[in-house]
Every structure is written in C-alpha cells, then in structure tokens.
Structure 1
Amino acid sequence: MAREYAKHCPASPMKNSLLVTAAILLIIQAASCQRVRVETEVEAYPTESVDLRCQFVDGGNTKLTQVSWIWEPTEGQRDNIAVFHPTYGESFPESPFSGRVRFIKGTLTSPSITITSLKMADAGRYTCEYATYPSGNEQGTTNLVMLAKPKNSASPVVVQASTSGKPVVVAQCEAADSKPAATIKWMGAVGGTENTTSVKGPDGTVTVRSEYLIVPTPEDNGKEVTCIISQRTQDKPQTFPMKLAVEYPPTVSIVGYDNNWYIGRTDAVLTCQATGNPAPTTVTWTVMSGPMPDTVQINANKLIVRKVDEAVNTTFVCEVKNRLGVSKHQVTTAVIEQRKITAGPSTAGIIGGTIGVVLFLLAIVSAVIILVRKRKQNAVNGDGPPKHKPPPPVKAGSSTEMLNKPVTDSVLTETQPFSNVYYETSGEPVTDLDACDDDDDNTVGGGAANGGGPAVLEDSIQYADVDDTLNDEALPPYSDADDHHVDQPPSAAVARGESFVSAAMYV
C-alpha cells in the first residue's frame, strides 16, 4: 500500500527534508543505544530461572549515575523491578517479581539480573536503562519469551457401527497449555476427516484439540489411526497410534460340515464361529426338528456327533449373543449310507510331488542316454581323434615314389577302400640312408632307396592282385642317361652318403 500511495501522492521537498532529519536522529539514537549492550530475545520456561544481561560499553567521559530494570508486560505499562545506585546500593521496588529478582554482580557497568520461579505471566519487554551525564538516559531492551511445553494426549472413542451414514468422532487428540500453540495432524487408512479447535488460557497458553471423524463400520474395528503433535519446544513431533473401537452385533457362521456324514462315522464336528464387539457372551446350539439327539455332545461353540445315525439327519442352529444383539446361523446335515471316497488335499499334494520327481529323473536319464549315443556315433563316423599313429611321410616328387605308385589309380579307388592311414602333407621327410638292407635283391622297397618310407610297391602289387587287369599292365619304360630305353628301372643300390636323381620318365 505504501508503494501505491507513493505513486499517487509524490512527496514534497519539505517532506523529504523532514524524513532525512528523522533518519539522522534515529541513527544518532541507535549509535548511543549501542553502548547499552543487551540480548534481543531470551526464551524461558515456567518454574525455571533466566538471566537478563546488561553492560555499558565505551563510557569515555560519560558519567553513569544510576541503572534501572523496567518491565513492560503490555503496551503502555512500565514497572521498575530492580534499581542499582553506586552510593545507595540495590533496591527492589514492590512488583510481581518481589523476592524473585536479584543482581548478579551489582555494578554500574554490569547490572545483569536473575529472575527465578518464572511464570507464564512474566513474559514481556525488559529494559536496562542508564541515567548518564551529560547525554541523559540510555537503554537497551530484551524481549522475554515464555515457552510452555504442551501436555499431549490422545485416545480412541468407542462408537457403534453407523446405520445412518453420518460421520462420528472415533478418536481425539489434545495439546494442552502450550505456548506457542501446537499443531495437530492425522494419518489413517480409513479415509476420515478432522476437526481442530484452539482455546487461549489466562496466562497466555493455548490448548489445541482435534477430533477424527468417520462413518464407522464393523470392518473399521481395530484399524489404526495416528495423531501427530508438533510444537516449538519439542525436539521432534510426538505420535500417538490408536486402534479404533467400533462396536457391532455378532456375525455367525457354522463350519465343518463336509457332505460326508455316513452311517457309523464317529466324531463329526460342527464349529460355530462368531465375531462381534463386544465379544459374544453366549453360544447356544439347538435342533429345528426337536430335542438334541443323544449321540450329540455340546462343548462351548463346538457340536460333536459321537456316532452318526439317522437321528442327526436334521438342521442344527447356532445362536450367538452380545450386548448389542443376537445373530443365528444354521446348517442342514444329510446322512448317507456309505462313505464318499474323496482324495484329500494332502494325498493330491503327495501324488503331484511324486509325479514331478519321476518326470525330473526321467529327463536326466534321457539326457544321459542321448549324450552317450552321440559320442558313440561320433566314434563310428570318425569324427573323433585318430586312433593310430601315422607313418613317416613319403617325400613328394621323388623317383622312388613314382616307382612304388600303383599303375591304375582309378581301378584301385573303385575296388579297394581307402586306408585309415594318415599322411602329413607338410614338412621335410627324414631320410635314413643307414636303414638300407644289405640284401638289395630281396628288398622291393623301403630303406634308403625309398627315403625311409614303407614299401609302397608291395602294397601296389597287393592291390593289383584284386583286379586281374593290373597283371596285364606293364610298367612305363625308363631311359638311361643317353636317352636309351631300358626295361628295368635303375638300381636302387646307392652308395652310402651319396645322393641320386631319378632319370626322366616317359609317360
């Protein structure tokens, strides 16, 4: 509003000068007041004590004459409660603080006081005022705030289940005689509403009350609501969990009849189950067809048939009472000639568990069988590692290899299965010239002449016996060094340590 007023009513030059003068005077007064050092605000509690400190600093040439403590409980009221004079000493005028106030040191420069047995009515402004020369009176003011811890309480309210649909108070919470006023909140899963009021006391305290309202039903009985009280003097909010107390007439049900009451069955039991608030006080069993059969025994809320016969082929009634009303429930029993065979839940569970274990074991056995068969199949197909150590390789491109090579490869391939002998195609073969036999005439292949390899020619001759066509085939002609054709291949006998080169072969 001040801003709006300033917009419509601009200040005149004279008003501006007055404002500046007032500001200067306030600054000068504040500078002078700073020499009286006090605490701005002090908090205290009833029945306790409080120290109000005051000190005059930077006296300089200022002469201190007297110091007084003035109490202002309300605006416009000022009462002297303590005076100190350097010559006449301490003085405590008649006031509400008589006998409860004293100086801590009793000096002009430090005239702090202590007030004991505090009351809520002691709250107010306390001014430490100096009489000085030549500047006059100087002062400092402390605001004493009296705090009161609340007296917290909470309790459920016993109600009856509502039939009108109107909400009623089911719980209440109170924070009494607190200063400042407390705040109350509710938490609950029943969807209620709250109503909070506050009342001020004569000593400045406040009492806050809050009520929790719902439309009560039997299902709400025993449900929990929580009252939460927060206040300045508390370290943390205080909580009050409460269980609702909703009263309602009893509800009744009969359990235990399984439609299998056969003649001769023993100890058949019916149970009358009842709930209510307050708890049911009486349970009564009756029979609609007349008197209770002789084979029936009553034990509180249980009806026990010692031996089933035609007499219990009737209707049983259970009646339950509490303070709010009466409720009944009935069941009609039918007696049969023979027992019904039914699989109980325990038997079904055992059978199901057994079947599950058997299926699990069968799955494991099947997996093992499949694994074993796969390994056998791999072994038959030759997918596994070689079972025989391969012989030393024959040097590729040598004349000895050409001599020992079968004449007709196509025939051998078609008539003789491949051997399982493995040959390596890389690496330089090792030639053992010392392995040559002395009897060259009896050696068809092998030894040094064959590079230390197996007698391939013998194998060729053996293969040739399989097919008669091989007998008619002649070895290819050979030529000597002068290009003359010869019928026999060069001698395989070579001096030890010498090397040889096969002659050219015509194909």
Structure 2
Amino acid sequence: MEEKPAQRARLLSNGLGVSTFVLILCGLTGVSSNQVVVQRNVNAVLGKNITLSCIIEVGSNLSLTQSSWERNLPSGTITLAVFNPVFGTSYSPDYGKRISFVSPSQRDATITLEGVGFADVGSYTCKVATFPLGNTQASTFVNVLVEPKVYVSAGSTPLLEGRNESLVAICIAERGRPEAEVSWESDLSGQSVTQTHDDANGTTSVQVSYMWRPQSYAQGKTLTCVVRHPALQTEFKIPYTLNVQFAPIVSVEGKDRSWYVGQKNVKFTCDAKANPPAQRFTWIRLDGPMPDGVEISNNILAFTRPLKRNDSAIYRCEVMNKIGLRGEDVNFWVQGSGEEPSLEISENVTAVLGEDVYLSCRYLGESQIQSAEWKRQTSKSVFERLAGFSNDSSSYPESVTNLTVQVKVSSVEAEGEYICEFKSEDEFFSRSVFVSVLGRPDVQILVREDVINNTSYQSVTCFADGGRPQPQISWVVGSLPPSGYPFTVSVRESLPSNGLFNLSSVLRFPTHLQDEDNVTCVIQHPTLPHPKLATVRVKTYTRPNVTIKAEMVQQRGNYFWVVSCISSGGRPDTDISLAPNATVGLQAEKDSHSDVQRLSVHLPAAEYDGRSLTCMFSHPKFSHPEERITTLPTFYLHKVETDSSNFQDAEYLELQEGETDVISLHITSNVPRYSVICTKNNGPLPEDVELIGQNLTFLAGVKPLHAGLYECHISYLHLNAVLRFNVTVKPRPLQAVPPTISVGLRSEDGRWVMECVAAEAVPAANVSWLVSQSVSEEFWFNSSSYNGSHTVRGVLLVPFCSPWELTAKCVIHHPAFELPENRSIRLPLCARPNITINTSTEWKDGRKYTKVCCSVISIASAADIRWLAEDNNNISNVMQTELLSEGVILAWSFVDLPSSLFSGQNITCAVKHPSLETPAERTIHIPEHKPPLLSVTVMRQRDPPLWQAVCDCEGECFRTNLHWVLPKRARPETPPLAEFEDNGIKATLTYPFPLALHEGQNLTCMYQFDHRISENRTVQIPKYYITSVKILNHSSLLSGRHSDQRVVFGLRVQKNHLNQRILLGVEGNVPEYSLRCQRSDGSTVEVDESAMILQDEGLYSCRASFYHHTASMTIQVEVTDEDEQFMQIMVICISSVTAVLLILGVVLLVFCKKDKTTKYKEQESVAALTSLMQEPGSPEVKKPGAAEDKGIAQLDNYSIVLDVKSAL
C-alpha cells in the first residue's frame, strides 16, 4: 500500500455547545492513503460468467468520489461501468446487459461479465477517485479458457515381443486454451513423446505418444492417460489396456522331481502362456524315437508302465502359436530302484556376475563309486566337462561321494543347466541344476541446465548400467513421486552384446515451476537388498514480494517525491523498471545483507503534481510482468467549512462573556506545510488572544473588547485561503445551574443502601426513587445549601435478598433539564440457597432408625427448615445454624425416624428463604423395611462329640434380636454363640448340644425385629435307635431265647486257618456306629471295619454304639479238625445206610404180615419208627434258616452228629 503525505488538523472543543466556533482545516499534518485490491489474473471458461472483484480500502479521513472499470484496447481505453455514490451506476452501451455491479458501495466495486468470449481477453482496470487524494487504480488480466476434447487411440501396428521400440498408444487433447497438460502414468520403462499443434482462436491440440519395447510380462497391464487443464475441475483419466503378442512361454510340470527304476504313474504336463493362444503341443525325445509304453495326449506325456533304466533321455515339449515356436527340455534320468533319490544336489542357484558360486552334489547310495563329474550342456548334443574324477585318474578326491565345485561367474554365458553324474560298476546316477546369472547395476546421477527462450530447464539423468535383469528406475521429488506437469520423464534402454541392460531415466522440469531443492533417483534390482537412492541438489527459484512506495522529503528548502520500486525475497534477482522513464535522480541499489532490491527516483514535488508512476517487475516466477501503480497527489487549499454549513465572509459569531473559549481552525488541504496569520480589525490580535497551533485561544476568557472582525490568512507557495468572521460578545446572564448527579450502592446491616445525590444546583433539585418490584423498602431525604447552591440527598433501603432482580431508579427534576434525569441501579440477583439432604441408619435397643439430615447454605440470612411426612403432618426436629464466612450461613436440621413406622414413605424437607418466591422442597424415600432371611441347619461335631445347630441370618440383622427357642425343660449346657459381620447384613447363631438332650425334638431360630413382627425357622433333630447286633456268618443260637436269659451264639471254625473273620451287623437306623469286641478275659480283639478277626476258640463279646445308643452280643467259637469231621461223616453215612436197610427190612416184614395186622397197628409201627429218626438235640443247635449270606459260606464248617437209637 502506498503512503501519501498529507496534513491533518484536530478538532478541539471544550464542549460548550453553540459558544464554540469550529473551523475545519483538513490535511495539515500528514498524507493519508487508499488502496485498490483486485485479482491479478482471472480465468474464465468460454461461454460462462466471470466475476471481477475490486475491494477499496479507504482511509477514515477520505471519501469516495467515484469508482469505474476500464478496458485497454489497441484502439484506446473505453469505460465499461461507473459507480457514483450520488448519481448511481452507469454502463457502456457496447456491453448492454452483459455487465453489472454486484453490490456497489464505497468499499466494493466488483462487477460481473456474462457470456465470456474470445473478444473479452485482455486487461481490465478498476479506477477509484477519492477526495482529497485523487485517483488510484489496479489492473486484472482476463484470460478465456477452452475445455479440451480428450480421447485415446491405439498404435498403428500390433505390439510384438522382441521388436524395437514401438508406438503403444496416443493420448490427444484437442483444441484447449491454454494447452492441456497431457502425460502417461505407467510402471513400464517406456517414454512419452509430445507434439503440439496451434489451432484457431488461440487453442492448442496436444498429442502424447507412448513408446515402449514390448515384453510379454506386461500383457494385460494398464496405461493411464492423465489430462490436466484449468477448465477441468479434476484430473481427467482414460485407461488403456496393453495387448502384447508373443510366442509361447513353455513350462513343464513335474520336471524337477527324481525318478527311479520301477516307478509307476509318471507323467509330464506341458503348459504354455501365449498371445494369441497356443495352437499345437508336440513331445519329442532328442536322442531317438519315443520308447514303448509312452502315451502322448495333446500336452501330456505319460508312461503307462513302470520306468526302465533306458528311459533316461532328454525330452522336449514344443508349443506353437501364430507368432512362433518355443520349447522346454526335461532332463529325464532314471536312477536305480528305490523310493529315495541317490543324489543330493543344490537347488536352482542364482549367481551374481563377477562373484563365485558353489555347486554341491553328494551321492547317498551304497554302491562303490567309480567316477563322478560336473558337466554343462553347451548345445543340444554337446556337453562340456567342468570337474570330476575316475579310478584311472592321477588325482583322487578326499571324498568320492561329495563332488562340490567352485565356478567363477565372469559373463552371462555362465547361465545354464549343470549336470552332476556318479557311476558305479552297475548303476549310473545323474541330476541337474540350473544356474541363473544376475548383474548388479552401476548407478550414476547428473544434472544439466538449459536455457530455451529465456526459460531455464533442468534435466536430471540417472544411469543404471550393467544390470541383469533390467533394473527399475523411479523418481522422488521432495517426498512425493513426480506426477505430470511440469515434470517429464523419459527412459532409454539398451542391451549390448554382453547381455547386460543399460538403462537411463531423465527427469526434466522448468526451474521456475519446481520448488524442491533436491531430487532422488530410486533404483530397484534383485541384486540390491534395498532400493538404492541417489540424491542430487537442483536449482530453485523463489517468487519475490513487490511493492511501490512514495514519500516526500525536504532537501535544501525544496520538497521532492521519492518513488521506490521494491522487490524482496526473490531468487534470482528481479528486473525492475519505472514508467514513465525518468533518468534524472534514478538510483538502483541492493542490500548485500538481505534479498531486498530497490529502484528509487527523486522527483520535484511541484512538477509532478497529480502524475501517475508505474513500477514494472519481471521475474521467472511471474507468468507476466507485475505492475504497481501510484498517483502522486495534487496540492490544493479549499475554503473553510464547519460541521453544519459553510462560513460566509463577515459571518457573525456570538461568544459568551466570561467563558474560556477556543476557536479551532480546520482547512481541507494536502499541502506539505502552510502558514497561518490572524488579525483583528486589520490589526494585531489582542494581548490575551493567541494562535496556538490551529486554535485561536482566549486565554483570560471572553471579554467585550474581543468583539470585532477577525481574518485568518492561510498560504503555501502560490496557494492562499482566507477566513473572515465577526465576533460579538454576549453579556453573562443569570441562569439555572444544573446539579451534579451521583449515585452509590453499599450493603449495611443485611440491607442494600442506595444513595442518590444532586449537588451544587440552582435552584434545589427534586429527587425521588422508583423500585421495579414490590418489596419492603424505606426512604429518607435531606438537603443542604452553600454559597447559593443546593445539594439534595435521597437514600433508599431494601432487603439484601429478594426473589426478583430489582432495579431502582433515581429521578431528578430541575429547571435546567428539559426532561427529568434518571440514574438506575440494578441490584444483583440474590443467590438461591444450596440444599442438601442425606440419610443414614443406626440401631437402638434392637430397633432400626433412619437419620435424615437437611442442610442449607444461604446468603444474608439463615433459611427456615421444617419436615413433612407423606400426610403433610409436621415432624418435630432440631435446627442449628453456623456462620461460614461473611454473609454465608449454614443451617441444618435432622430427625430420627423409626424405620418400621416410616417404611416405604417419602419424607420432605421444606426450606423457606427470602431469595425464594415459594418454599423449596427436597424429598427422600425411606426404603421399605424387609425382614431378614433365615436358614437353619444341624450338623454333627467330631470333637467334642456334640451336635450343633446353626442359624444364618442375611439382611439387616441386629445381634440382640436373634435367639433360639428351645423345647420346654431343655437346659443347654453351653449358651448359644452369635457371630456377626461388620457390615451388619449377615449374622450366624450357633447352638452346640448333646444328642440325647434334643433327640427327636424341634429347634426354632427366631429374629424379633419389632415388638409386633418376628421371623422364625425350625429344624427337627433326628430320632435314632439300635435294636441288636447280628452275625452275618452262619451261626446257631446256643441260649437266650427268653428275655431273662443271656443271648449266646455258637460258631465253629476250622483249625489251622489264620485271620478268620466274623462279619457283624447292626439292626437300627443309625447312619454309622462304632464296634468294639473283647474276649472273656477282658483282652481286646482286633476289629476291621465291621468284621472281628478271630484269634482262638472261646467266648467273645461285641458292643456296637452311636452316641448314647448301644447293643451287644456274645459268641461261643469252637475249632474243629478236618480229619475228625471226615471220620464223623463216614460214620454217619454208614449208620444212615444201615438204618435205611433196617427200615426196608421192617417194611417188607410188615407187608408180608398185612393180613395179620390191622390198619391201626400199621400206623403205630410207622410212628414208632419215625420217632427213631428225630434228633434229640436242643433247639439252640438246630440248623439256622436259609437267610444266610452265601458270600461267606466258605468260612463256615458244619458238624453233623447222627445218634442212632433202636428198640430192636
């Protein structure tokens, strides 16, 4: 923004109304400035509308006279549109309705141009005229854009693999303005060739061809044509899919396996990748015809029989399409019988050119090796021997089964198939490995600068030579890859006779369009573990900041304009020129310590009045030369004006006698300096009247002698201005003196005290108070007088707290006021009390109480608290207060409520306070009082041998409310014990007792949580009994069938048997029992669980017990010998046979004499014989019933005694 010197005068006034005469002298102390802000360049799309903005920055002491838009044509300058704040807008008839102001004002002159065409291209100037500085302008260049038509077409010939560089596709952007930026995006190593053609109306067609050496790996990949143009909102992209034709690439599935004699189901599948597709597959054997048992079906070769040794050979699969014929060989070596291969060989090896590679081959079989060698196939039937040994050779290796060779890779011819062979007396073993040769590229980077048509271009070339396979080169500028304009990338590749690729990539760009100071070349290759980076520094340009500055200086009594064209921050230097050409006083300088350039010229101020100067700046970063224009002001002096109207000659000005008056002079002018001389009645000014600065001052006040004609002459060189005015002095009148009004506010004794004072008034003022709300207020007034003036004081007292926001207004009536004067005081809203309510519980004498506390923090006065039940009845309470700080009071109240009486009810705390319109309430809910949960269990204790009843209480359990209800006449030996948790929600009451005390009775646990309510749980103590102890083995009752006799059981056991057991059982319902046995002499007998272990014959007694329940039995044990038993059995058997024979003889005798005997005698005889067979023993030794346990029959021995009695 340019600075223009101007003079300014200040308007000084003492605020005495009509008694002050103001003369305005403008521009006496400095130069103001204004600036026009436009867009340097505006692009419009053909046929669309365009907006040309023009923002005007006007100083506060300047006014806009007129703004306009002009266009510079070869035929001259035409005015398009004009805006005048007074007369409105005007438009050129040539543009009709195409042009209009958007929102014309003193700060905005933006216009809209509709239907832009080619004829609208050019420079447009926004010109602003301000008063008093004159004209300022700025220019905008309008360019018309034409959106290009974009399409992609394929090359004229098909892409065949192996051919030289071919045309892949063409991307065309037709008839664009300006020319479009067209590029190809691809990861291929091709290059773009750009051609341009100029069309009508300044449009340009751009054609970019993509050249590339076709390779089969890119089949189906995509190229993308990218078009950028200012008329396009985003990049326009068109994809193009590559169609590369190539001969078949053949591969055989199964060729890398091992084969052995007798192997079955061996087959090879030949696959081919080709474009166009493969037409024919052929299998051949290189050393002769196919053997028998081989079946060929299109691309499959299969052995239909087990493999033989003579099947070993080289087989080839040949595939043909329209492009050509290619094949793949299979080295088929059949080894000896067995499922495991006999040779272990290195897998396919990758070697780097110039380094060594090791080939390892080991024989794993058991045969005696006669010879071994590594060889390489140099042609279809020729093999070159590399290393090896045989029995007749002079050198013999340390290991005949491990053949490892070192191969120096000196050229790409080292790539190929290597065969390892071992021979024994009976067998031949062979396997092959393929060695691939890679070349590590050598990287270099160079920078070159060219200047074409005064434009600097930089080319960065990255070389990657000697690579195999072909390396990949990419670029990074800054931290991003270059994409499209202004960068172009061209790639060149060559394949010399040595089989190594030489690749170079050139990144080219205009220096002024690239801002990064380094460029990085990224090389990727299989021989490099990480991409290799090569970075180089490049030259960059920086856009300068340009401006124009004008300032006035005084030299040797004369004034000069110093106009400076300034450029800063640019690289390289800016070319600066000044128009119109001024050679006198022209100085060019550059600060060596900074990047500031300055071109200055000294111009006489009088000669260059109102002239415009233009600075022209040229720089590579500018698309066209930049202009900065300034217009030097025209000096002028205007006549004197007041704020309300213009002064006329001999104007009368009435001043009040006795007032200390100041007349401020203000002249509209832009001269650098001026002189002012004032006179009275063509003579000097009175002694007590002086011109101080721009003020005519009456030092001792206005007096009658100051009346007269005053003249003030303002001059600068040939410019003059005169101000004449006639001063009259008005005598001092007697008038009312308005009061000095003041109000105050303070707090005192819990009330607001507002004071309104009307002081030093003549006559006394009338003071009153008005309050916005109906509150309890109190007024009092007093007045006093001094030296004829009166002071009235009105005081208003209101409560400190109120539910409303109060406004008190003091109204003052006085004759000096046309309307009553008001002074208002707004009292702050009293803070609402902070109410908090909380509860807690406690137990007293077995009853639960809920303690509720309500606390209130309030201002000025304590709150009133009361409690309400659900039926709105008051609850008695205790209230206390405490002074927390000045004006802050804490009040609290609490009540203790029996929880059972208020169970499930809502209790309300009601608070009254002066700050509340209605009482505030806080309600809290008393939880419903629920009885605790009881559970009762009974268990046995081992030590001491007592039973224990346990009562568990869960819930609100108070220790004194839990107790046992025992049966009548029950006297517990130990009192019940209670255990409680700290939180009071669980309790346990235990009661130990002997079983005999409560057997078969009920025990009740009771919780009495109120005088009227209780909860209980009952448990029954089991009833046990033991009737007798029984023997589970076979035994007999010897005595004790009657109740008055001792029960003795007899039991016989075998002699010489150790640890014989007697199984015992208990008749009863006891869950368990203890068993103890002893001999008749009191010694203890060992008992194992429920079995007594016998020691010897004799009398034993056993006792079973469970707590106080007992039963016992006695056992007589006899020991028998097996031999004696056998003799007894023999005697019994003989006696039985004899008895039977006698009986049969008797029967026959009876039948023989049946006629002589009667039926009665027959019966008597039979009865007599039968009686002879009955056993005469006691009932105690009879055979026991069949209810014995068969599982222990092997432990019982029986003695049968036959006592034969006969009457014969």
From the two aligned structures, give the one with the greater helix fraction. Answer: 1
> Which is higher, the Rg of structure 1 or of structure 2?
2
TM-score by length of 2: 0.21
TM-score by length of 1: 0.43
The higher-RCO structure (CA 8 Å, 6+ apart) is 1
From the two aligned structures, give the one with the greater strand fraction. Answer: 2
